Amino acid sequence: MTNNVLDCLEQTAARLPDKTAFSDGSVSLTFLELKKASDSIGTALIQKGYKKEPVLIYMEKSPQQIAAFFGVIRSGCFYVPIDDEMPASRIDLIIKNCHPRVMICDESTREKAKKLSFSGETIGYGDATETTADAELLKEVHDKTIDTDPIYIVFTSGSTGVPKGVIANHRSVMDYIGQLSEVLGFGEDTVFGNQSPLYFDACLKEVYPTIRFGATTYLIPKELFSQPKNLVEYLNEKKINTICWVVSALTMISAFKTFDIVRPEYLRTIAFGSEVFPIKQYRLWRQALPDASFTNLYGPTEATGMSCYFKCDREIEEGEAIPIGRPFENTEVLLIKEDGSEAGPGEEGEIYLRGTCVTMGYYNDAERTAGAFVQNPLQSAYPETVYRTGDMARYNDHGELVFLSRRDHQIKHMGHRIELGEIEADVSSVEEIKICACTYDRDRDKIVLHFVGDIDKKALIEKLKELLPRYMLPGKVINLDEMPFTANGKIDRKKLEEMR
Amino acid sequence: MNVREELMEILEELHPEVDFESEDALVSGKVLDSFDIVNLVTELDDAFDIEITAADLLPENFDTVDGMVELIMNRMEDI
């Protein structure tokens, strides 16, 4: 089978055994070490009787965490990565959704894992990698694997307060990587500087091309993303030439005039997405790196990472948002108007995506899967599932797709996709809260929480820290005497925005 | 309102649950993360009409309230 991610790892490990695959500065794994670690972990899981089921990976961000991903895939199971800084209550929701029987943890999470509502088996990463690989057993599982078998579940924000687990298979990941490489041009000489956490799909852009093309990925220490000068020096020291970052990370470098002190000497491929790139900051980057390629990427987790791209090879006008361009070759964008018909040039419509990029749906959640993974609205002659994104867009005069807004209250904040409804659901669970609503202050990049209730802001934030991941915590909290309502009895969000 | 008071007001708005005066490792101890620093610097630039640049964004300038006050005062002198 050619679309199996493990075949890539196998071939690259044979071709470049001693080359560094992943490094975080303190630990590096070569391709051979990565393969050996994944063979051992895979064997351990198979011998313990786990097959075709979710395996939690609760580890600190590290090359070993990536080895655990491949170990799980090796066993024929699929990995569920957990953020090691995520509050226990949120991890418990994930556990409740996917009922894992087994979890892999490391020294940094072993104690924290005991506090979770998890009753299955916990395997230490160190113990698993000491297992002697059983080639016969691994081959048996490999031979039974087909490219539509799942490899991971990644959880995204859900508006009801319960995260949704998007499940993806070998084929959609391999297709995605192939398409992405067509656009960005990956190869053996590619040196990635990874910014995104490993528990969400943004990291696919580095993890899988690394094993497919024999590239190298440096997992950049998180703290450098608040020290722009040191960050650029790190890029130079590691000779990083390719980055796929959220816009806020790029903006941090340019906004603080880092280029006046130091420039990234080796960067030649810069991809960004998830947020609007402020034109002023984009131009500073272009001036600093006139020979580099800049690509805007767009796509939801439900369509395996990214689905559309725009190569920034024309002048972007003042006040113009950088387009999301056009879909990858394995994807078609259907732009559907409210009446169900296709939007014409210049007309606004909702993006539906069709193609192998469309993932398998939400794990253990038939209802929400049915709401978003729907029959192609443009034909009813045969069954064909497309993904309804909730993103509104239109084609500009250049024939490029431009993102306009969301259909609901979903936002993108610091590169993370967040349903404001999920924050509201968690805030409402605090006893003292009578009513609450969240708005998003785009200018200041802040989630604003408006609430009515007898609790001081300090105590409220303390409670929310136990419920929400760091990136979902409100940046501003406003205590109201009463909530404004519209004539229809809905919370008046416009009025709330005026109050900020 | 002096620089320290104004700074404390900004910090308390940012993280009402943190006792800033008693902390001596706000960045090194991961009380403030990269999101916070970027938000904080934007607020400081606006409030004090200063320009904090990449060379200033080092843990030692943000680990303590004293460090931040000194940084702000230095940048105010530059103008």
CB A409 within 8 A of CB A400: no
Model pLDDT, residue B4: 94
Rg of the Cα atoms in chain B? 11
Of B34, B42, B55, the CB nearest to A226: B34
**Helix (H) or strand (E) segment spanning residue A441:** strand A433-441
Model pLDDT, residue A406: 84
The tally of CA atoms less than 13 A away on the side-chain side of residue A322 is 27
Smallest CA-to-CA distance from A200 within A163, A233, A145 is with A163
The DSSP call for residue B21 is: G
Model pLDDT, residue A2: 66
Model pLDDT, residue A1: 45
Output the CATH code of domain B3-78: 1.10.1200.10
Q: Distance between CA A282 and CA A268 in Å, rounded?
A: 15
The order of strands in the sheet holding A446-453 is A433-441, A446-453, A476-479
Print the SS3 string covering A217-231. EEECCHHHHHCHHHH
- In degrees rounded to 5, what are phi and psi of residue A492? -85, 90
Cβ contacts of A256 on chain B, cutoff 8 Å: 41, 52-54, 56-57
Over the stretch B11-65, which tens digit does the pLDDT of each residue have? Answer: 988 888 788 988 888 887 778 877 788 788 888 988 999 989 888 888 889 999 9
The long-range contacts involving A458-462, CB below 8 angstroms and separated by at least 24 positions, are A458/B16, A458/B17, A459/B17, A460/A427, A460/A430, A460/A432, A460/A433, A461/B15, A461/B16, A461/B17, A462/B17
State the residue for tokens 């009515």.
A452
pTM equals 0.88
User: Distance from CA of residue A10 to its chain's centroid?
Assistant: 25
Angle A365-A369-A370 from CA coordinates, rounded to 5°: 120
Q: Which two tokens stand for residue A7?
A: 């075949």
The order of strands in the sheet holding A242-246 is A28-30, A20-23, A216-219, A191-194, A242-246, A269-273, A293-298, A308-311, A326-327
Q: How far is A416 from chain B (nearest CA, A)?
A: 12
| Neighbour-count burial for A269-287, b at 16+ CB within 10 Å, e otherwise | bbbbbbbebbeebbebbbe
Q: Distance between CA A183 and CA A128 in Å, rounded?
A: 38
A380 reaches B (C-beta below 8 A): no
How confident is chain A (500 residues) per 10-residue block, as mean pLDDT? 86 98 96 98 98 97 98 98 88 95 96 93 97 97 95 89 93 95 97 94 95 98 89 97 92 88 97 85 94 96 95 87 94 95 93 96 96 96 96 94 87 84 90 92 84 90 88 89 84 88
Binding-face residues of A in 432-491 toward B, CB within 8 A: 444-446, 456-459, 461-462, 465, 470-471, 475-477
Domain ranges for chain B = 3-78
* A342 SS3 class: strand
Q: How far is A227 from chain B (nearest CA, A)?
A: 5
CB B21 within 8 A of CB B61: no
Residue B79 pLDDT class (50, 70, 90 cuts): low
Of B42, B57, B59, the CB nearest to A228: B57
Print the SS3 string covering A124-155. EHHHHHCCCCCHHHHHHHHHHCCCCCEEEEEE
Q: Which two tokens stand for residue B56?
A: 């200033």
- In degrees rounded to 5, what are phi and psi of residue A306? -110, 145
Handedness of CA A63, A68, A74, A79 (dihedral sign): negative
Q: Residue B58, Cβ neighbours under 10 Å: how many? A: 16
CB A151 within 8 A of CB A361: no
> What structural domains does chain A harbor?
299-406 (2.30.38.10), 420-499 (3.30.300.30)
Cβ contacts of A260 on chain B, cutoff 8 Å: 53-54
